[in-house]
Structure 1
Amino acid sequence: MKIRKISIKNFRGVKELDWSLPTADIFCLIGKGDSSKSTILEAIRYTFYPQWNLTFSDSDFYQCRIENEITIEVTIGSLIEEFCALNKYGHHLRGWDAAALTLMDEPDDHLESVLTVRLTVEKDLEPKWIVVCDRNPEGAPFKQTDRNKVGVGLIGAYSERELSWANGTALAKLTEAQSLTELLANASRTARTSLDADRPATLKNFDAAAIKSQAIAKLLGVPVLDAYKAHLDLASINLKVGGLALHDGEIPLRQLGLGSRRMLQCGIQRAGLEEGHITLFDELEFGLEPHRITRLIKHIREDKRGQYFLTTHSPMVLRELTVKDLYIVHSKGGVVQIISAAQKGLEEHEVQGKIRSSTEAFLAKKVIVCEGATEVGFLRGFDDYQIENEKDPFSFHGVALLDAKGASKVKALAKAFKSLCYDVSVLADGDAEKQFSTADAAELVALGIPTYVWSDKLSLEERAFQDLPWDDVLASVKLAQDELFYPVYDQVRSQLLENLDKDIGTWTESPKLRTAIGVAAKNSGWFKDTTRGDLWFKAICLAFQDAAFGKKNLALELSKLWEWAERV
């Protein structure tokens, strides 16, 4: 069985969610922290909880408002024949249009037959499971045994139970029919008999106490049928099914490392359910090295009977998946929205490539699309400077820096991330009108994407060397020469076309020299990567304490960009 639609109301951090799923087997939920990704997995698990004793508390209600009941509806397709029978849930069948992602209340020949399972919890904290449709709003009870047949399993950080034969585990389903209860009862009786056989040695002191108790009993008129002795109470030592666990020799497999346990559980879940399964994998990367992440995802891809819901904060996991597997989760005021990264219109925007090269951007709340690596490095240095001045960093505000790798790609990437409901801004040069024009910038602004472009159609280097105090200009040139090993004198001299002292410290400020330095820095790539851009900002950061510089275009644009990042 497979999930077709999920609706959640008033459950933990989710005030409202309505998600119609495309036909697929892998759904990897990504997005910033606290966007309710794990809550969605828990909602699915609770809807098909294989036991009767599911416990809720007031904190499970959205903002602890117990007056608003929890309602979780999950619509499942690929139904087993038993569920479609009229004496089961046949009267509650509905229709699913996979092309339109629409749920119809009436089943039809051209629609997939599906069932909608509703879990409700009111302020009495008692969960109620029913199968519903508009034709039969009262619904029919969805019993524990049937919830178990859906085959939902959660692989989380604490899931040792899945390596035992406890009720509802995949391992229990993998086991051929056998009376485990009788087997364990016999084991309890065997333990009792074994202890009795060695009584003189092992229970001598205990039996002595029992004899004294017998004497007291007789003295008080308590009947003694035979003789008091110490013995195991079968009711107290009764082994439960969950006590039978998977071992490697004498060592229980719950003692395996976290990653090994989770991989084994995933494999058992797949092997144990002939009718298919729905596996929930929270934070897939926990406890796994990169090579085992690769192997696990390959295992998941090869499983055509299962449906997997994953969450992750790992760039490594994203690189192993495709854009079709990714679903971005956004939450605003408890209203949760899930958007496919493969939605129509994004095919030409290099989203797949950015998943592999700039995965951090997909895990953030806000994205600054930077024209190139210089801008990324420069902003990293700016971020460090702001932290030193007691500002909260980009990371606090959920901001990621994305290298567009060229002005021609800026607009498309910014629009793509905006369509995926990220907060987006752009930082670009103004010197490549054919690749990123004034009209392109205006188009992005009209779409709600703040765009910061250096004035006078200059690049970052040219703008900086026009605006920086002269001491910081010279510090930049010395950085390029002494630490980055560029032939600075020759490169600047070729732009200036005038005599120039080879001793940088003697250079005298002039508009023409500032321009020559800016062009040389741009054309020769003094700071054209992230590391060098960062070093450059650190070399000139004291300029931001200069009041006159604070009124120049470079400082003003960075200030506006920072204000955007700080907005909630």
Structure 2
Amino acid sequence: MKIRKISIKNFRGIKELDWSLPAAEIFCLIGKGDSSKSTILEALRYAFYPQWNPIFTDADFYQCKVDNGIVIEVTLGDLTPEFCSDQKYGHHQRGWDKATQKLTDESDDHLESVLTVRLTIGKELEPKWIVVTDRTPEGVLFKQADRAKVSVGLIGAFSEKQLSWAAGTALAKLTEAQSLNELLATASRTARTSLDADRLVTLKNFDAAAVKSEGIAKLLGVPVTTSYQAHLDLNSINLKAGGLALHDGDMPLRQLGLGSRRMLLCGIQQVGLDEGHITLFDEVEFGLEPHRISRLIKHVREDKRGQYFLTTHSPVVLRELTINELYVVHSKAGNVQIIAASSDSLKEHEVQGKIRSSAEAFLAKKVVVCEGATEVGFLRGFDDHQVGKGGDPFSYHGVALLNAGGAGNVKGLAKAFKGLCYDVAVLADADAPKLFSPVDEEELKKLKVNVYAWSDMLSLEERAFQDLPWPSVVTSLKLAQDDLKFPVYDNVRSKLQKDLDKDLNKWIESPELKTAIGRAAKDSGWFKDITRGDKWFATISPAFADPEFSKKDTAVKLASLWTWASDV
């Protein structure tokens, strides 16, 4: 069976979610932390919970408001004949149009037959599962045994139980159930008999205490049928299904590393369930090295009987998956939206290549598309500066700094991320209009992308050296010359075309000299990587305390970008 549609209301961090799924086997949910990716998996697990008594609390309700009941609806397709029979749920089938991803209340020949399962939890915290249609809103009970037949398994951070024969685990489903309870009861009796066989040695002291207890009983008039002795209480040692666990020799497999346990569970879920399965894999990268992530994703992709819902915060996982398998999750005030990375509206932006080259940014909430490494390093330094003043860092606001690798890539990247509903800003030079022009800037602004391009058609280095007070210019020159080992005098002299003292401490401030310094820094690449850009900002950061500098284009645009980043 396969999931076709998911609707969630008032469950944990989700106030409302409505997601119609394409016909596919792999759905990897990506996006910033706290966007409710894991909550979606938990909702699916509860919708098909294989036991009758899951425990809910007030904290499971959105904002703990128990007056607004939890409603989880999941529409299932690819139904088994048993579920379609009149003795089961045949009278409650609905129709699903795979092409339009629309649900109709009546099944039809050209539509896929589906069932909608609804789980509701009210303030009394009692779950209720029913199969519903619009024509029968009261529904019919969705039985515990049938929930188990859907074979939904969650592989999360704590997976030891899944390697035992506990109710609802994949191992329990693989086992002939009629022999399991008898086997465990026999094991309990055998443990009692084994202890009794060597009583004179192993229970000598315990039996002595029992004899004393017998004497006290007789003294107090408590009847004694035979004689008191120490024995195992069958009720206390009664083995449950969860007490039987998978071992490697004498070692229980729950002692395997986290990554190994999760990979094993994924394989058991796939290989052992003949009628298919729905596997929920939360944070698929936990405990796995990159080469094992690659192997796991290959294993998942080759399984055509199952349907997989994954979550990840790993760029490695993103690079292993295709664009058709990725879905971006956004949450705003509890309203959760899921966008397919393969949406038709995004095809012109070549999102697949951008995911592979810019994977980290897809895991953020906001993205600053920086023209190059200098801008990324410069903003990292700016971030440190703001934090030093008591501000919250970019990371707190879910902001990622993305190196576009050149002005010609800026617009395409910005449009791609905006198309996936990220908040996007651009920090770019204005000195190469053939690659990033004022027209491009206006086009992005119409899409509500904040664009910060330096005035007067200048690069970052040219703009900054024009704006900085002279002491900060001198410290920048010393950084390039003494720490970064650039021939600063030669670089600047070639741009100035005038006599210049070889001792930069004797240089006299002038607009002409500042212009030459800016061009030399740009053309010679003084700060053209992330580390050097970061160091440069740290060197000039005292300038931001200068009231005059705060009015300059460099400071004004950075302050505006910071306001955008900090705006929730």
Q: Does the alignment reach a TM-score above 0.5?
A: yes
SS of equivalent residue, structure 1 residue 180: helix
Deviates more, 1:288-297 or 1:227-236: 227-236
CA contact 2:354–2:413 (8 Å) conserved in 1: no
User: In the alignment, which residue of structure 1 is the partner of 2:307?
Assistant: 307
Equivalent residue, structure 1, for 2:211: 211
Counterpart of 2:529 in structure 1 is: 529
Q: Is the 8 A contact 1:174 1:271 kept in 2?
A: no
Matches within 5 A, 1:111-130: 111-130=111-130
Structure 2 partner of 1:386: 386
- Give 1:219 deviation, angstroms: 4.4
1:390 alignment partner AA: G
Specify every segment of 5 or more residues in structure 2 that has no aligned partner in the other structure, as ranges: none
Within a 5 Å distance, the mapping from 1:59-138 to structure 2 comes to 59-138=59-138
Query: Is the aligned partner of 1:473 residue 2:473?
Result: yes
Compute the displacement of 1:120 (Å).
Answer: 0.5
CA distance in 2, matches of 1:233, 1:435: 81
Where does 1:324-335 land on structure 2 (aligned, <5 Å)? 324-335=324-335
Q: Say if 1:349 and 1:416, in contact at 8 Å, map to a contact too.
A: yes
Hey, what does 2:370 align to over in structure 1? 370
TM-score normalised according to structure 2 size? 0.97
Structure 2 CA distance for aligned equivalents of residues 349 and 379 of structure 1? 26
The residue that corresponds to 1:25 in the other structure is: 25
Aligned partner of 1:8 in structure 2 is 8
Structure 1's consecutive aligned runs of 4 or more residues displaced over 6 angstroms after TM superposition are none
Distance 1:176 1:323 in 2: 41
Unaligned runs of 5+ in 1: none
Matched length: 568
Code of the aligned partner of 1:476: S
The one-letter code of the counterpart of 2:495 is Q
1:316 aligns with 2:345: no
**Mapped partners of 1:119, 1:19: distance in 2:** 16
Q: Which residue of 2 aligns with 1:415?
A: 415
Partners of 1:424 and 1:450 within 8 A in 2: yes
Asked if structure 2 preserves the Cα contact closer than 8 Å seen for 1:84 and 1:90, the reply is yes
Matched, 1:231 2:217: no
Output one character per residue of 1:353-404: Cα deviation in whole Å (capped at 9) or x when no partner: 3322322211111111111111111111111111122221111111111112
1:90-139 deviation per Cα after TM superposition (whole angstroms, max 9, x unaligned): 11111111111111111112211111111001111110111111122121
Residue type of the alignment partner of 2:20 = S
SS of residue matched to 1:476: helix
2:350 and 2:459 map into 1 onto residues whose CA distance is 24
Q: Which residue of 2 aligns with 1:338?
A: 338
Shift of 1:542: 1.4
Structural RMSD (CA): 1.6
Which residue of structure 2 lines up, in the alignment, with residue 166 of structure 1? 166
Counterpart in the other structure of 2:508: 508
User: 1:518-550: CA deviations, max 9, x gaps?
Assistant: 222222222222122112212211111111111
- Closer/same/farther in 2, CA of residues 535 and 220 from structure 1, 3 Å limit: closer
Report the TM-score, using the length of structure 1 for normalisation.
0.97
Q: Distance in 2 between matches of 1:395 and 1:350?
A: 27
Give per-residue Cα distances to partners, 1:496-519, cap 9 Å, x unaligned: 222222222222222222212222
Equivalent residue, structure 2, for 1:499: 499
Report what 1:446 is aligned to: 446
How many Å separate the matches in 2 of 1:35 and 1:173?
Answer: 33
Identity of aligned residues (%): 74
1:228 is aligned with what amino acid?
Y
2-structure distance, mates of 1:476, 1:214: 93
For residues 188-208 of structure 1, the C-alpha deviation after alignment (integer angstroms, 9 at most, x for no partner) is 111121122112222223323
Structure 2 SS opposite 1:505: helix
Name the amino acid aligned to 1:72: I
Greater Cα offset, 351-360 or 121-130:
351-360
Report deviation, 1:221. 4.4
Compare 483-492 and 399-408 and name the one that shifted more.
483-492
1:3-33 Cα distance to aligned partner (Å, 9 max, x none): 1110001111111100111122111111112
Q: 1:282 to 1:31 in 2, by over 3 A?
A: same
Residue 220 of structure 1, CA deviation = 4.5
Q: Please tell me whether the aligned partners of residues 427 and 452 of structure 1 are also in contact (alpha carbons under 8 angstroms).
A: yes
Q: Which amino acid aligns with 1:152?
A: V
Deviation at 1:178, TM superposition (A): 4.4
In 1: Cα distance, 2:404 partner to 2:353 partner: 11
Is the 1:543–1:549 contact (alpha carbons within 8 Å) kept by the matching residues of 2?
A: yes
Aligned to 2:360: 360
CA shift, 1:322, in A, is 2.1
1:145 matched residue in structure 2: 145
Counterpart CA distance in 1 for 2:218 and 2:162 is 50
In the alignment, the residues of structure 1 paired with residue 211 and residue 499 of structure 2 have an alpha-carbon distance, to the nearest angstrom, of 114
Structure 1 contact 370–402 (Cα < 8 Å) conserved: yes
Q: In structure 2, what is the equivalent of residue 273 of structure 1?
A: 273
Matched AA of 2:150: V
Q: Check the 8 A contact 2:345/2:419 in 1, yes or no.
A: no
Is the contact between residue 475 and residue 539 of structure 1 (CA under 8 Å) also seen in structure 2? yes
